[in-house]
Amino acid sequence: MLRKIKRLLMAVFIVSILSVIGAYAGYRWFRANSTNSNQYIVEWLNDAENHPNYEAVALLRCGDAPFIMPTTGFIGLFWRDSSAPYNVMRRHTALDIFGNGALGTVPVYAAYDGYLTRQDTWLSTVIIRHDDPLQAGRTIWTYYTHMASLDGSQNYISDAFPQGTSNQFVAQGTLLGYQGLYNPPFPIAMHVHFSIVTSHPNGSFKNEAVLANTLDPSPYLGFDVNANTATHPATCRE
């Protein structure tokens, strides 16, 4: 009996040690894969005036990049970013660009020539179809969202693009709307979420919320905005 108890205690001891080691390894892995974006976002939101170098400027073309910067602000969350509200298991599919201004006043522009759609149910979102300038023959989409007030009662999308707009040509630099706060269920500060989305074989856009359906915006913008390598503040690589 005593021997059985001893064996049981030993087993419990070994399992406990392994659990602690496992938890520690998991923590180290999580930390090693986490980005430090949140601390920069807080600095920017609290004191933008003293961080002018954090700001990327709308309509800027970096070198010979095909896209222009779609809005003015701090690129606070990168593509593949694992900072909150994301994590290493659920990475950010886009760029979050945080403007410095009153709600509904920071313009958002089309990053490239294309054909705009705003579905019937889309309150704060537009999507634009493009011929991929970096891969001939491929259809890609740029996606812009959160362009409404916190509760969705006011939307900040240009009157030119009412709900139900389909395949309307927009030139690069066309005003789409203004940065907003509409982001249920995780409202953060005013920003625009800008992503590049790939297509199904029939050319329709894939689900933007899935990382594998999105592209690294870095070569399109000329900025390093891939969380694997990017550092804050992202600047033109020219």
CA distance 104 to 154: 9
Q: Which of residues 37-56 bind Zn ion (CB under 5 A)?
A: none
Tokens 């705003």 map to which residue?
Answer: 118
Nearer CB in complex with Zn ion: 52/184: 184
Structure tokens at 32: 């090693």
What's the min distance (Å) between Cβ of 228 and Zn ion?
17
Q: Does 80 bind Zn ion (CB under 5 A)?
A: no
Nearer CB in complex with Zn ion: 96/132: 96
- Which of 56, 58, 68, 94 is in the footprint of Zn ion by CB under 5 A? 94
220 touches 128 (CB < 8 A): no
Binding residue count for Zn ion, defined by CB under 5 A: 3
Q: What are phi and psi of 10, to 5 degrees?
A: -60, -45
The closest residue (CB) to Zn ion is 193
Structure tokens at 170: 């927009």
Taking the CB of residue 38, how many other CB atoms lie within 10 A of it?
15
Structure tokens at 210: 């899935």
Nearer CB in complex with Zn ion: 94/197: 94
What's the min distance (Å) between Cβ of 101 and Zn ion?
19
Q: Which of residues 168-227 bind Zn ion (CB under 5 A)?
A: 193
What's the min distance (Å) between Cβ of 13 and Zn ion?
46
Nearer CB in complex with Zn ion: 130/193: 193
Structure tokens at 16: 């406990």
Helix count and strand count (H, E) for the chain: 3, 10
Name the site residues for Zn ion (rule: CB under 5 A).
94, 96, 193
